[in-house]
Amino acid sequence: MSVRFLHKLFQQDGLTVGGWIRTQRLKRCSRDLLRPMAAELGVAGIARRWGFANSSHFSRAFRTAYGMSPRDWQTDGKPTG
């Protein structure tokens, strides 16, 4: 499969490859923040684990996706609703 074809497949669904990958990484981060190991790794450690090299970039992306900071997510748990 060519890269161009891959991008066209995603484009048909109104997505970008990069956007889909970022969403998957953020989902994994949100899940890991709720696990017991999160206290050991910390927010920055979990972000690095899933490929976010810059903590502030991760925090902004997380807040945009989930409506709260990663720390609040970790402390308060996944919001209901």
CA atoms of 18 and 37, how far apart (whole Å)? 28
Domain 22-81 indexed as CATH 1.10.3230: no
Neighbours of 25 (CB within 10 A): 17
Q: Judge contact between 29 and 50, C-beta under 8 A.
A: yes
Q: What is the pLDDT along the chain (81 residues), one digit of tens a residue?
A: 888 888 888 888 888 888 899 999 999 999 999 998 888 889 999 999 999 999 999 999 999 999 999 999 988 866 544
- The DSSP secondary structure of 27-43, one letter per residue, reads HHHHHHHTSTTHHHHHH
Q: What is the pTM of this model?
A: 0.81
HSE value, Cβ hemisphere, 13 Å, CA-based, for 21: 8
Tell me the domain boundaries of the chain. Answer: 22-81
